[in-house]
């Protein structure tokens, strides 16, 4: 079923212990849509500047990604630069130039308005809500990412948007901050009172934890022989998760667990190359092979 993503398409400058790129295509919506496109059709809403060329747009071509909703605005595209620590667990932001993204007012093309699966990447919660107002009927799943900036600066707007969200997908620090509670299970209980019925906690190299009313599910980080660049891993996770769910067309504990695994699969691939290098060169066979690898990594009999 149709999957809508609203978020950033950006250029990134990335420094890791394994290399440096001054400017490569990135942004949450880019990672998300490339990852999700291996599973389902994706409708993309974002804004880029005049520096975004046809060559840049090639990332979306030949995939199931509709970019009718990719607005071209006068000015430059969002630019982010960061440097990772030696162990890749920390990063410092070197630049955040919002550029055209500062005035982003997401507008859904008419064909997008029937989307049944919606992912609201990490942007202003007021904009996230404006997207939901443009969707006709009631989506099957609205998933949302956010960050400390919105939790601290626009708590009321975020709370309002969370009322219309089924799946909240954030990291453990954000979970604790939003709930005002260190213990993750008790934090989840508080968050369920805000609207979401499912909480997906991303924990980087340690994997991800999903909590909903009837079950808790944990999937480990994939032990990679080499982690090249973690940029976009969380958004690729979200893409695999929502892409799989939209493809399955059913939301229950079985499909949610599989979505967690396919999310982890896509997040692990994202780390194996700089920027989108590995993610863009996948195929379904490689994805299923890694999902089976996750199965061997976690299964036991008692």
Piece in contact with a second copy (CB under 8 A), picked from 38-46, 67-75, 223-231, 234-242: 223-231
Q: Considering only residues 74, 86, 110, 137, which one is a binding residue for a second copy as defined by CB under 8 A?
A: 86
Instruction: Give yes or no for a contact between 86 and 17, defined as CB atoms under 8 angstroms apart.
Output: yes
Piece in contact with a second copy (CB under 8 A), picked from 3-11, 76-84, 100-108, 204-212: 204-212
Instruction: Give yes or no for a contact between 294 and 222, defined as CB atoms under 8 angstroms apart.
Output: yes
Check binding of 285 to a second copy (CB under 8 A): no
271 by Cβ neighbours in 10 Å (0-12 / 13-18 / 19+) ranks as: buried
Question: In 10 A of CB 234, how many CB atoms?
Answer: 24
Per-residue binding letters, 10-29, with a second copy (x by CB under 8 A): --------------------
Q: How far apart are CA 249 and CA 1, in angstroms?
A: 6
Instruction: Give yes or no for a contact between 24 and 11, defined as CB atoms under 8 angstroms apart.
Output: yes
Q: Considering only residues 114, 258, 273, 277, which one is a binding residue for a second copy as defined by CB under 8 A?
A: 258
Check binding of 87 to a second copy (CB under 8 A): yes
300 alpha-carbon distance from chain centroid: 30
Check binding of 207 to a second copy (CB under 8 A): yes
Q: How far apart are CA 33 and CA 44, in angstroms?
A: 7
Per-residue binding letters, 123-162, with a second copy (x by CB under 8 A): ----------------------------------------
Check binding of 185 to a second copy (CB under 8 A): yes
Check binding of 90 to a second copy (CB under 8 A): no
Q: How far apart are CA 83 and CA 192, in angstroms?
A: 35
Q: By the criterion CB under 8 A, which residues form the site for a second copy? A: 86-87, 182-186, 203, 206-207, 209, 211, 215-220, 223-227, 254, 257-258, 260-261, 288, 291-292, 294-302
């Amino acid at each position: 079923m149709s999957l809508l993503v609203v978020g950033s398409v950006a250029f990134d400058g990335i420094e890791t212990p394994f290399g440096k790129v001054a400017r490569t295509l990135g942004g949450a919506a880019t990672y998300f849509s490339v990852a999700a496109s291996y599973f389902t059709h994706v409708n993309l809403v974002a804004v880029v500047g005049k520096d975004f060329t046809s060559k840049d747009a090639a990332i979306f071509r030949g995939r199931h990604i509709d970019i009718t909703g990719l607005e071209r605005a006068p000015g430059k595209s969002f630019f982010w630069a960061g440097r990772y620590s030696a162990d890749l667990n920390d990063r410092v932001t070197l630049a955040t130039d919002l550029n055209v993204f500062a005035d982003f007012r997401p507008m859904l093309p008419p064909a997008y308005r029937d989307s049944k699966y919606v992912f609201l990447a990490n942007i202003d919660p007021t904009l996230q809500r404006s997207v939901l107002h443009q969707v006709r009927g009631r989506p099957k799943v609205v998933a949302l990412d956010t960050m400390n900036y919105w939790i601290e600066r626009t708590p009321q707007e975020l709370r309002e948007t969370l009322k219309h969200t089924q799946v909240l997908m954030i990291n453990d620090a954000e979970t604790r901050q939003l709930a005002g509670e260190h213990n993750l299970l008790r934090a989840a209980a508080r968050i369920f009172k805000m609207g979401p019925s499912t909480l997906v906690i991303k924990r980087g190299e340690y994997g991800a934890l999903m909590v909903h009313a009837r079950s808790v599910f944990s999937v480990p980080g994939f032990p990679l022989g080499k982690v090249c660049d973690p940029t976009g891993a969380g958004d690729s996770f979200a893409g695999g998760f929502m892409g799989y769910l939209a493809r399955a067309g059913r939301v229950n504990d079985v499909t949610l667990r599989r979505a967690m695994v396919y999310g982890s699969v896509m997040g692990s691939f994202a780390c194996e190359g700089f920027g989108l290098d590995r993610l863009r060169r996948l195929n379904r066979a490689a994805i299923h092979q890694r999902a089976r690898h996750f199965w061997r990594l976690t299964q036991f009999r008692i």
